Chains A and B, each alone.
Chain A
């Protein structure tokens, strides 16, 4: 019994890494995604092209590969920049790669949401003398948020599971921790990790359902 409780506490501890990575990624990629979205909708052609190409590359290559390039790239290319040593350097590299990756996915969701708002809404704001920022914040923002809650919820839940990819650059998250035991012949810890993810995503499902409900007082 003691063995089991030790394993569970180690699994739980390593899951904290998944949670940290999840939180930091969301905090930075949600706003960064908005910036990228504006870039991809810019009227300045070169900027628009640059941003869209960047988004294509990031969404078009596996996150796992991006993690490897992010952490090992500087060392392999002999750059003067190098990640801090130890576990913290690997975690920072993973976080940066995740933030860039998810910001690109969010930017496309934002762009889709913004472009799906009928032109008439903008024009109504315009003829009522509103400035562009006023129209964005007072007219379109809430409508966009309502529309993007389902796809954003999807991405967030995918992120929860993607966090375990960080183990490719040896971040000791929960699945890598379970791997220690499978190597020794004990398999149940690996399957137990599923429960952590299930519970986390269960909570998120409830949260997003609640959000959808809160915005159901109007229909776009």
Chain B
């Protein structure tokens, strides 16, 4: 059963038609890499999934539940969207950690706020808070930052900040974890530590969609690759197929630029 189905997504900004009839599906536990040049619409696609942008046409189905349908306004209410965003997690290119909170608090904040809406919150407040704290510490250990719990974002490196961002996204147990060019803003020496964490997540069967420029990494970690150009999916398939044996001319041209070896 597909955990995610994306059908007929279209999006325009002013006069620019950025996404044209995007269709794909994703199985649970799959890692999908999206590659393409700037302006191809990959970031917009990711933002549509997280409802940071609203698609003009199309539908998004998660676990067989239609969480978005452009023809049905009732699926687009802000109050509804908020809950639906929780199906997805998003790791930003620029981390976007909250500067005024410690690393630990960055990871626990959203979960604590959500917990307040639980009907059993008042009675079990202590237990719930402890649970959230423990989970956060566990996630931070998983990304290798147990010794930085009380540090503030400005005190740690870019690579470390991005790893915190990953832990923060995981804290809410999203069905699908999305990455928007997670290493593009990092110094080359620091990309390794972040890619390592993502690879680790892949090995744990985390469902992920990764927009990236790191071709070698995509080849290594992804189960499926989608190549986008000018708002359409030009080609999709396994990494071996797309990287090793591209069928479309545009794909070949794009990869040629990256394959110096």
Contact with A along B45-77 (1 / 0, CB 8 A): 000001110000000000000000000000000
**Which among B110, B152, B168, B169 has the greatest number of chain A C-beta atoms within 10 A?**
B110
For the complex, count residues of A whose C-beta is within 8 A of B. Answer: 22
Q: Is the CB of A217 within 8 A of B152?
A: yes
**A138/B109 in contact, CB under 8 A:** yes
Q: How many A-B residue pairs have CB under 8 A?
A: 64
Determine if A130 and B100 form an interchain contact, defined as CB atoms under 8 angstroms apart. Answer: no
> Assuming A123-B52, A218-B152, A219-B154, is B86 touching A129 (CB within 8 A)?
yes
Within the assembled complex, what's the spacing in Å between the Cα atoms of A10 and B51?
A: 65
Per the 8 Å Cβ criterion, residues 98-146 of A in contact with B are: 118, 120-121, 123-131, 134, 138-139, 142-143, 146
| A219, closest chain B residue (CB) | B154
B94:A120 contact, CB within 8 angstroms: yes
Q: Are A128 and B99 in contact (CB under 8 A)?
A: no
A123 adjacent to B82 (CB under 8 Å): no
With an 8 A cutoff between CB atoms, is B243 at the interface?
A: no
Query: Which chain A residue has the least Cβ–Cβ distance from B111?
Result: A128
Contact size class for B? 20 to 34
B114 neighbours in A (Cβ, 8 Å)? 129
Q: Find out whether the CB atom of B98 lies under 8 angstroms from the CB atom of A124.
A: yes
Provide a sorted-by-A list of 16 A–B residue pairs whose CB atoms are within 8 angstroms. A120-B92, A121-B96, A124-B97, A124-B98, A125-B110, A126-B51, A127-B50, A129-B85, A129-B113, A134-B113, A138-B109, A139-B98, A143-B99, A146-B100, A217-B152, A218-B100
Write the residues of chain B forming the contact surface with A, with a CB cutoff of 8 angstroms. 50-52, 82-83, 85-86, 88-90, 92, 94, 96-101, 109-110, 113-114, 152-154, 168-169, 172
